[in-house]
Structure 1
């Protein structure tokens, strides 16, 4: 597995990371044994970057990763953890908390659930509008000084906030949605990160399965799958978006690859400072996605891909309006 360094001052990680959210939350029920097997398969394939959040399954995802890492060398894995999202027992979203005292509380619980004595990258999941980003970053910096955290990351933040955060402490990477149908970071956010030496960990590279090549108009969703209310999966937008996938499928066929592999490889091709996060929660999907690690795209290939799925071509926002309002990156 190729390695990439996250930003000017961040850790060296695998060129593809594993996003673990779906193993615990938001995509309906998951098979825990299969999730553990998928985590093991990812580690055995050379993936070292595991991304989680303390609110994925209200702690379940961190405990799952802690179980999967038993018997593994801790220094061979980089754990990226998001915090700050508040939820009730039913899973409803209650807001975000970036207060310094809350930061240290969240970290203490994550360390216990992960069964580790340090977190490689720690980041606020969404900017708390009631707390200056400088205060939140300063609290994480205290954890860095204490040895509980190695690096500080950001999540879904806009260019101005990125600059304010970087003035307090070195930032390793920005985690943000980036895919063929979500290219909003290219105008201001990506240039700001490159100016400051901040890497990108790109989530949603398959747009939650929409551009995986496996989605169909009649796909049935399990109870609790948030895609049932996601605008891009709605009846008014789905046919349009699946037509883009079919155009991409024709390009993939010529390359001897799958749609998912081409979509992931496109994100990977955008720069050595970008690490795509694979959202696989089954070994079958992981194996397919890993094929993107060796898929080399020429300038001609890239031109064909972007002609099939032009920038801004998707129908629908990437989140519901209420969730979009929490995205500092969209302001």
Structure 2
């Protein structure tokens, strides 16, 4: 098993690997993944030094959590911190974010994962008003007191939502979209999180695959892949698919990004390395559908830091090609 750099997940006090594993793809919305393949991906991630899995109760309606629970039961030597999420299985109404529902949602996740206490539970991009509700945080504090959860956090769509949550003393971490094609969190969110001791979990790090350089204008995604059915935000927030960037615009930007890749690295690893070295980032959670992807993602942690010239070039590329379409939205 490879040793990877560890960082503290904000107010949890727990250390996790700087590259984690996002497991949305093990549940649904990225095409089919068999249980055998899912276990192979989880195993490859652990062998690569990953000690952080991110899941949600809505991924495959619990399938992702169940697979992780079964895997960790079989792999007793794996010391993995599991962050899950709650709320997206219910109608997205602020009045649904109450203690009784939280208990029921958490009890289901505890059963799926096979644990008494969940390591970290994140509100899963709820309605914006939820982030400012005193009653919601009181309920979350109650879950901690009841030992259903060890800590709580939020997953957000916008920087404004992140800043609202960071101001709350019990919020351990904020999960937010951050990648070379989504730079807005660098301005206020990451500095505020660092000052408050709140962790940052960077999601959608490869802009739904755009930053891998593997796709072209002729690429066809499966019908049950969100890159097909949510291309324009038809099913959920558009920012979750290709970081909200027009696909052809993203392809052009990705072609330029390819020119910034250092020798011996891939485009995906370069994007992950860029995220890891942003001040305030705790961990980045790329998904993986194959053993090769899981190993390649893990290897990004061992790359040397990107030089300032590359960081400047990423900023220039963003400002020139992408800022106008995404910066004002999230």
C-alpha distance in 2, partners of 1:180/1:147? 38
- Matched residue SS, 1:57: helix
Per the normalisation by structure 1, the TM-score is 0.85
Q: Could you tell me which residue of structure 1 aligns to residue 70 of structure 2?
A: 67
Give the Å deviation of 1:167: 5.8
- Distance apart, 1:153 and its partner CA: 1.0
Whether the 8 Å contact between 1:104 and 1:140 is mirrored in structure 2 is: no
Matches within 5 A, 1:95-174: 95=92, 97-128=96-127, 131=130, 133-156=133-156, 162=162, 165=165, 169-174=169-174
CA distances 1:105-156 after superposition (whole Å, capped 9, x unpaired): 1001100011111111111102345655322222221121222211211110
Structure 2: how far apart are the matches of 1:114 and 1:74? 16
**Whole-angstrom distance in 2 between the partners of 1:157 and 1:133:** 17
Alignment pair present for 1:269 and 2:264: no
Structure 1: give runs of 5+ residues left out of the alignment.
Answer: 88-93, 319-323, 325-329
> Which residue number in structure 1 is paired with residue 292 of structure 2?
284
- CA RMSD of superposed structures (Å): 2.6
Quote the residue 1:237 is aligned against.
Answer: 246
Partner residue of 1:90?
none
The within-5 A match list for 1:1-331 is: 1-73=4-76, 76-86=79-89, 94-95=91-92, 97-128=96-127, 131=130, 133-156=133-156, 162=162, 165=165, 169-228=169-228, 229-231=230-232, 237-252=246-261, 254-271=262-279, 273-296=281-304, 297-307=306-316, 309-311=317-319, 313-314=321-322, 330=330
Q: CA deviation at 1:302?
A: 2.2
Q: TM-score, normalised by structure 2?
A: 0.85
Change (3 A) 1:183 1:32: same
Residues 19 and 52, structure 1, Cα contact 8 Å, conserved in 2: yes
Distance 1:183 1:61 in 2: 29
Pairs aligned (count): 311
Larger helix proportion of the pair: 2
- 1:215-239 CA distance string (max 9 Å, x none): 12111111211112324769x9323
